[in-house]
Structure 1
Amino acid sequence: MTTFAPLRARSMLKSLAAGLLLATVAGGLALPVAAQETPAVEAPAQPAPDAVVATVGDQTITEADLAFAAEDLQQELGQVPPADRRAFLVTVLIDMKVMAQAAKAAGMNETEMFKRRLAYLEERALRRAYFAEKIAAAVTDEAIRAAYDTFVAGFTPVEEIHARHILVASKEEADAVKAELAAGKAFEIAAMEKTTDPSGKQTGGDLGFFGKGQMVPEFEAAAFALEPGQVSEPVQSQFGWHVIKLEEKRMSPPPSLEQMTPQLGQQVMYDAFDASVLSLKANIAIDIPDAALAEGVKRQSEPAAQ
């Protein structure tokens, strides 16, 4: 059976890239922060990326700068009330500008460590750009549909039942409920009147569909032994005494395409990431002198089993 459970982290690089894709697909990279706050009935015209939001001395802060900061500060931004996010980002960027100017005035941009950090940041930005423009393009409706078809082809249905129950504290109460049902009282009405299960009082004891292993053993054994329309004898479990009615049996259907789309989109993205990185590495010599470290990197780079 093919599954699409969350994959283990292939590497920190892949995790970061995955987060970038999700932000990109959701509009986090391209969408100005103002448009991410309270959605209107009609989407307002988006400000141009080079529209100036603020000036700091002789430097400007633009809508594009806000989008870059929103991408970089996703975790922090999630803790800020939506109405305050734009002001938060502008504040961060103002602080960044004045501190950067002060650092340059002190000559910090001329140190060897700074130059190495700058090279790292440039490569990180290029990696993100490559991911957004090349790998994210693989996550299409057609690719997701193909992944869904593969999932459905390998899906193994299991037996499920749809049942209702009435839960009471004692066998005497359960026997009394059973007698009322035998006299013609509707199960749903009896459940709303008698059950001690809070949700059952609202739903007429409806438990929906469930498979084996989802209920306590005593309840499951009695429920699965019933035929549609049949009502059980009182059954004791750790929760009390149950009277169960079986509504219907079926073999479980696969989840719908709509339900699977987020997971399948992640799967398609991971597959595209693996294929792209393996292709890029194919003609590049990579040497790691430390054997233990090399083995660890190899394990991180292996595609996850599906």
Structure 2
Amino acid sequence: MSSIKAALGRTLGRAVHAVRHPRVPRAWPGRVTAAVVALAVLAGAAGGVWWWNQRVPDGAALAVGDRVVTVADLDERVQTLRALYGVQPPTEDPAKLEAFRRDAAKAVAVSMVLEDRATEMGVGVADAKVRATLDQYVAQQLGPGPAARKEFTTVLGNVGTSEDKVLAEIRQQMAIGDMFKKVTDDVTTTDDDLRAAFPQYAERLGAPETRDLRNIVLTNQAAADKVAAQLRAGGDFAQVARTTSVDNATRDSGGALGKLSSQQLQPAYAQAAFSAPQGGIYGPVQNQFGWNVGQVGAVTPGVPANFDQVKDKLRQLVDFDRRLAVWSEWMRTSLADGDVRYADDYRPADPDSAPTGAGPGLPGGSATPSVPPAGGGG
């Protein structure tokens, strides 16, 4: 259960604190929010298979069995997900807002089906255990005592949710972890399995090439082109960053992002940064926070994996992937029998599947990156 507490700590932290680290232009799960992934337990699943011949009541976003989720209910749930996972509905692009709405409906539907299965399996989490998890987090992040609790409550109020709703989300995550363990308890991984799987995992287990990167964020392409030309003509990167970058998190340090691998970056940014030579200027590259111009510092070559040295980590990966396959099949069966129906405006583009993507060591996975995303001013 400590892994679930750790995940909750990471996700809740984004709601409580402002960004304190350089915001790296790195990959996030696209349209599918972290909440969608977390509530689906990061497993492939088939759901909503009866939506085409059963309608939901007027004013409803979806229904699971005889339970109806109204549009207001769904909006309220999104506020809680905002507090827990930093979910921010798109505000400018109508197409993205529509996709977000449908993804949120799917997240709620999946979570409701899992709640039903938890009841059937006799899985429950004691109130004291749930509250202890939240109390531990608040104490770690904000300190002990009434003042810390008051600050936490204020944060929740600012994003339109309550402590009771947060506790309900924590309870569900803990119950899902227990279900994952029960469903996958019989999975085993032998040493022979590890040797056979090693070639498939070798690249992931080796140390990737890293580059010491610096970055400048501009508000428009014209400004970015001008800065890129200035730097390629010999301008001092740190000086230019301090005077032109709109990213408050890195500007004072001359745009320093630190050592990063390509896997930690958004694909377009990674391609530019890892195509440039050491000392070279790359960009402009656009992302959601602006136009980025960067420079490559020291390059540290990658190191191939050695079986004996990575055996323990390999076991985690192989064992988790095997358990995830068993869990995915169980999810497909559960959701196929879940009687999920969506209103037309809330039906996901892919109602027969759920988000995927996970990491070892945490049944619920963690969609939250270890450092914040790239940013402009902030």
Task: Give the TM-score of the pair, scaled to structure 2.
Answer: 0.28
Q: Which has the higher contact order (CA 8 A, sep 6+)?
A: 2
In terms of Rg, which structure is larger? 1
Task: Give the TM-score of the pair, scaled to structure 1.
Answer: 0.33
